[in-house]
């Protein structure tokens, strides 16, 4: 595992210490690694949503009514309202 030296502002360092003191994490490194993991997952979700939106924009304007679109969505989701 790679070792790094990083500096924290006092409020951030206090927050990291409180996470370790609460026994939520074993060390500050564990907290930082978890935060990075969460940020990477969030980025992947944002990228996926962006890709879906771009695909939808490129598909053009639908000639279907709102009710037709809703019915298609319900059918795809297999949901009956």
1-29: b or e for each residue (b if 16 or more CB lie within 10 Å)? Answer: eeeeeeeeeeeeeeebeebeeeeebeebe
What gap in Å lies between CA 28 and CA 22, rounded to an integer? 12
Please give the pLDDT value at position 78.
Answer: 81
Percent pLDDT > 70 in the chain is 96
Please give the pLDDT value at position 39.
Answer: 98
In tens, the pLDDT along 70-80 reads 999 899 888 65
Stretches in the chain below the pLDDT threshold 70: 79-81
Q: What is the pTM of this model?
A: 0.66
The domain limits of the chain are 10-77
Instruction: Compute the mean pLDDT over every residue in the chain, rounded to the nearest whole number.
Output: 93
Secondary structure (DSSP) of 18-80: HHHHTTS-SSHHHHHHHHHHHHHHHHHHHHHHHHHHHHHHHT----S-HHHHHHHHHHHHT--
């Amino acid at each position: 595992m790679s070792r790094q030296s990083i500096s924290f502002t006092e409020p951030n360092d206090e927050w990291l210490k409180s996470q370790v003191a609460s026994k939520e994490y074993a060390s500050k490194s564990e907290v930082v690694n978890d935060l990075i993991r969460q940020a990477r997952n969030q980025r992947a979700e944002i990228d996926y949503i962006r890709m879906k939106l771009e695909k939808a924009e490129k598909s053009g304007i639908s000639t279907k009514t709102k009710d037709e679109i809703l019915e298609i969505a319900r059918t795809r989701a297999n949901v009956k309202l």
